[in-house]
Structure 1
Amino acid sequence: MSTRDLKGLYSALLVAFDENGNINEKGLRQIVRHNIDVCKMDGLYVGGSTGENFMLSTEEKKRIFEIAKDEAKDDITLIAQVGSINLKESVELAKFVTDLGYDAISAVTPFYYKFSFDEIKYYYETIIKDVDNRMIIYSIPFLTGVDMSLAQFGELFANPKIVGVKFTAADFYLLERMRKTYPDVLIFAGFDEMLLPATVLGVDGAIGSTYNVNGVRARQIFELAKQEKISEALEIQHVTNDLITDILDNGLYGTIKLLLEEAGVEAGCCREPMKKYSPEMRARAKEIYKKYF
């Protein structure tokens, strides 16, 4: 098991696809390098929502995990998101990425079906049971519909292999309670637009999609907040949130890829049924890039 410190800032890694929806290996490698060399991230969160993971086959997921690890080597901490409502696939991927040398695994709460908490707990324990690795719960209720209580999180954290949570929710009361109740658990903020208040509440790091392009500002917010320079951090959060608003208005993942393209990175297309880039979307991305970078 890796003993690398998992704290810090992670980009939720984008994946480059060609116009036919195939993995663009060259582009993916460039995105990894951009995150390491330009955005100066502490780590990469591979296989999450930002990587369009839930539209991929098992073999495609494995290939992305391989490419990311091969390009990053040991330059950066790597967390692999292996969650799926196909539990056998999650178990297979957990073993696969552990063998590749990923520093931790993560799994989204099982979604679509209304699973009971006992079923959710079984899911996590089954994924982690036979691998020598650490698990980060991926809690994102607004997409999964799965809300867990403080006590339920505590039941999961009772497993020594379950060491943290990617907390992508706006419930900062729950976040504060979790930080106070479980001081030794790793908590990662999952909403880029709320990095400052999450840092004030004591998160250990953050995992975000916009960090693929906005990692430098994210670092400034995170470090200034930890130094209690709140007004300075807030000014950068304001700029960051203006950027996020413009990105969301133009199409989240596609616009981040187009911004990377402006930075010289072959970030490619999004996987269908996500929309293809229109001339208007491309033009707006150019405007956004000139405004913020």
Structure 2
Amino acid sequence: MKKLYSALMTAFNEDGSINEAGTREMIRYNIDVNKVDGLYVGGSTGENFLLSPEQKKQVFKIAIDEAKSDVDLIAQVGSLDLNESKFLAKFVTDLGYPKISAVTPFYYKYTFEEIKDYYNEILKGVDNKLLIYSIPALTGVGLSIEQFAELFENPKIIGIKYTNADFYLLERVRNKFPDKLILSGFDEMLLPALALNVDGCIGSTYNLNAPRVRAEMDAFDAGDIDKARELQKVSNDAITALIQNDIYPSLKLVFEEMGVHAGFTKAPMAKPTDEMRADAKKIYQDYFKK
């Protein structure tokens, strides 16, 4: 059975401090209502790259304390500071996270040898398994099938969070590495990813949309492609509306409409305007109201 993971959001207070109660509410909603298989903690959706190391540690502690062993947990520890990544990899492993993930190093134009060293260094002395977080549209780092093969020479690297619109590469990777874990990371492209036999998916909109996504995955597995296609269309309509209303604050505003205290986004992300709130209410009514 293919696995469904929400990319966990972080609730913030207006001053940018972490709202622990709100973060716990989102975790519980994902587990108790969305019935997700797992949570991807510390990724882009959690606004991770805006957080201090201490805030990252706080989020990792909150998530595992609240989720316990109810669902699978993946901790994203990648950072531009390799020492921070290594420290966080050990920190979350000691907390009990069964898997870690790390975004490819970005901003500077790293060579592949530097990227490979980065992953191998993160895993040195850490008894854990790692998913490469490949998201070329935001990092500018694209990996070839030959480069994935080199990274997989490290037995602790077990797969990829594949957030990439290159489906030719996905097909090649899936068929060359049938035993590796590949989780699709683009919510709007889930259906073609399912057709290429990914093992599951991780997504930001799944915080709100997990029941519809689960229904799509079930329809696909049952061979009802027309139903799966229709469900993907509705999901994509909702995603388009969220993007047009500024997706990160809008995800939290819709969560508030659902009775979950999701807090604010962290500056320099936008604070919600009255217009954004009104549009988020309409998105909730059009796509998520039960």
Aligned residue in 1 for 2:75: 80
Asked if 1:16 is matched to 2:11, the reply is yes
Asked if 1:131 is matched to 2:126, the reply is yes
- From 266, 287, 290, the equivalent of 1:271 is 266
Aligned residue in 2 for 1:281: 276
Which amino acid letter does the alignment assign opposite residue 247 of structure 2?
Answer: L
Give the CA deviation at 1:222. Answer: 1.6
Distance 1:37 1:280 in 2: 31
Which amino acid letter does the alignment assign opposite residue 162 of structure 2?
Answer: F
Map 1:51-200 onto structure 2 (within 5 A): 51-200=46-195
Aligned to 2:168, the other structure's residue is in SS state helix
Give the CA deviation at 1:223. Answer: 2.0
Asked if 1:207 is matched to 2:240, the reply is no
Distance 1:44 1:253 in 2: 17
User: Normalising to structure 1: TM-score of the pair?
Assistant: 0.97
Asked if 1:255 is matched to 2:250, the reply is yes
Structure 2: gaps spanning 5 or more residues: none
Structure 1: gaps spanning 5 or more residues: none
Distance 2:163 2:143 in 1: 12
Give the CA deviation at 1:218. Answer: 1.0
Which amino acid letter does the alignment assign opposite residue 175 of structure 2?
Answer: K
Give the CA deviation at 1:156. Answer: 0.6
User: How big is each residue's C-alpha offset from its partner over 1:101-128, in whole Å with a ceiling of 9 and x where there is no partner?
Assistant: 1110000000000000000000000001
Runs of 4+ in 1 over 4 A off after TM superposition: none
Give the CA deviation at 1:225. Answer: 1.5
Percent of matched pairs sharing the same residue:
61
CA contact (8 A) 1:195 1:221 kept: no
Distance 2:218 2:81 in 1: 39
Give the CA deviation at 1:159. Answer: 1.1
User: How big is each residue's C-alpha offset from its partner over 1:15-71, in whole Å with a ceiling of 9 and x where there is no partner?
Assistant: 000111110000000000010011111000000000000010001000000000000
Which amino acid letter does the alignment assign opposite residue 108 of structure 1?
Answer: V
User: How big is each residue's C-alpha offset from its partner over 1:52-97, in whole Å with a ceiling of 9 and x where there is no partner?
Assistant: 0001000100000000000001101000000001000000000000
Distance 2:247 2:152 in 1: 32
Give the CA deviation at 1:227. Answer: 2.4
Q: CA RMSD in A?
A: 0.9
Distance 1:198 1:227 in 2: 16
Distance 1:228 1:171 in 2: 24
Give the CA deviation at 1:13. Answer: 0.4
- From 37, 47, 72, the equivalent of 1:42 is 37
